[in-house]
Amino acid sequence: MGRFDGQPILISGAGRGLGEGIARHLAAEGALVGVADIQVDNARAIAASIRDAGGQAFAYGGDLGQRGQYFSVAEAFRYDAGPLRAVINNASVLVYEPIEDVTEETLDRMLSAGLKSVFWGVQAFLAYRDEDAPGSIINYSSPVAYRGRPNTGAYTTIKAGIAGLTKVLAGELGPRGIRVNAIAPGSVPTPATEGFVTAEQYAQRAKGIPLRRNGTPGDVAKAVSFLLSDDAEFINGAMLAVDGGIIAAG
């Protein structure tokens, strides 16, 4: 038996990268996975691949920075899989650029995908959760929220906001049986970072990480799985660094 047998878990931005890795990992542990992504073809391909491997997955397309679309996805998942046990707010848009180059369009897009979607994900979870079982919400922060990395002004603002919001929600929703935690993945090569970080730059980053390697989607998926599991049933409001020691080393 898997740790999450029969538990409906909705993952935003799961059509590639870290979200995809988490979807595959949780499905292998028995979860009923909701693969939601703005690129619906990606979501469908991932869900089909999970089913081919013997897991259970459902695909949904939508701009999850839009409240109505997030609610529509959550409602459809509730209909397909049952009341939600957890939501993982993974969706994000990554742009690295000097502060003077940040445009209104870029900032709006990043805030919508990376921060507004967290609010709507929490609200949608509250609307469609299984009220007879403990609930869990996992948000994504980043080491940049704790270290001032140049050219990440918009991204850092969003990830620092998520760190604060996670603490607020842990206190606000804890009395309702809902644990809210966040992870801070470090340097993890994914398709989302290909246009901003080269292979050579990743190799250089690895030299500065205490464990002397970059992370993998599997590292992140295992951390998320732990936070969702009964092994973490008294962990609420935590920020779990999955970064090889980047934050700790300063």
Q: Where in the sequence numbering do the catalytic residues fall?
A: 155
Taking alpha carbons only, the member of 68, 83, 155, 84 closest to residue 117 is 68
Q: Is residue 68 within a helix (H) or strand (E), and if so which, with residue range?
A: helix 67-81
Give the CA dihedral 148, 152, 154, 160, nearest 10 degrees: -40
* DSSP category for residue 88: E
C-beta of residue 20 within 8 angstroms of C-beta of residue 195: no
Q: What strands, in cross-sheet order, belong to the sheet with 56-61?
A: 56-61, 32-37, 8-12, 86-89, 135-140, 178-185, 239-242
Determine the angle formed by the axes of helices 40-52 and 17-28, rounding to 10 degrees.
30
Cα distances from 69 to residues 18, 19, 117, in angstroms, run: 22, 18, 10
Cα distances from 58 to residues 31, 125, 147, 157, in angstroms, run: 11, 17, 37, 32
